[in-house]
Homo-oligomer: A and B are copies of this chain.
Amino acid sequence: MYRAENYPSKVLQNAVEAISSLPGIGSRSALRLALHLLKQDKEDLLRLSSSIAALGSEIHYCKECKMVSDSDLCQICSSPKRDRNLICVVESVRDVMSIEATNSYNGLYHVLGGIISPINGVSPSDLNIRELLARLKPGMEIILALSGDVEGETTSFYIYRQIEAYGVKVSTLARGLGFGDDLEYADSLTLGRSIEARRPFKP
């Protein structure tokens, strides 16, 4: 929309270009955000800019589970309250946060840092799979909590083949109709799978 020679200021242009490199933010939104930031206090701008720079310089990854952390061992891995015989394998940091927000899981995690995807050039060696194998001990339970699409299923299967010899119990998330869902609005794939995977009724 605005050609370079139309920018009244190189400083403004640099900010717009950097902001529009963020996913989901086009050049028009980036300009709107930059003009908003122009009106803010210097302290607010510094708080924003230094918190972004800190993502590059101050963030750590837990040496055990590869979760983002402020130190070399994350809060979860260092907590004495956690069940150390239970590891939930997830794709990303966000998945850990989502599961933690449920308050219904008390084990450890392992963040793969991605999912096997030939189309995106992600192979098993790009993921934290070797680090997972190093954590396994006989008698542990490993929960494969990856997404239900083809790539997630492929990754689950690949990991299952890698870990089955370690004497661990492997489980996966329950899938079916959402709790409280009406049958009327369920897609037929989910409904069909929910019938196949029916469970004993516990009154």
Contacts and interface: CB of A to CB of B under 8 A. Distances in A.
Interface of A: 1-3, 6-12, 14-15, 17-19, 21-24, 29, 31-38, 40-42, 44-60, 67-70, 74-76, 92-94, 96-97, 100-101
A107 to B, nearest CB: 15
A36 B22 contact: yes
Contact of A31 (B36, B49, B94): B94
Copies of this subunit = 2
Given A10-B70, A23-B36, A74-B8, A2 B51 contact: no
Nearest to A1: B101
A7 B51 contact: no
Contacts of A24: 29, 32-33
Contacts of A74: 8
B93 A38 contact: yes
Contacts of A56: 37, 40-42, 45-46
- Chain A: interface secondary structure? helix
A92 B35 contact: yes
Nearest to A29: B24
Contact of A12 (B46, B68, B92): B68
A71 to B, nearest CB: 9
Which of the listed residues A8, A45, A57 has the most CB atoms from chain B within 10 Å of its own CB? Answer: A8
B12 A59 contact: yes
B46 A53 contact: yes
Contacts of A12: 55, 59, 68
B97 A8 contact: yes
Nearest to A22: B33
A18 B101 contact: no
20 contacts: A6-B97, A7-B97, A8-B68, A8-B97, A9-B68, A9-B69, A12-B55, A12-B59, A14-B51, A15-B54, A18-B48, A18-B52, A19-B51, A21-B48, A24-B29, A31-B94, A32-B94, A38-B55, A38-B59, A45-B56
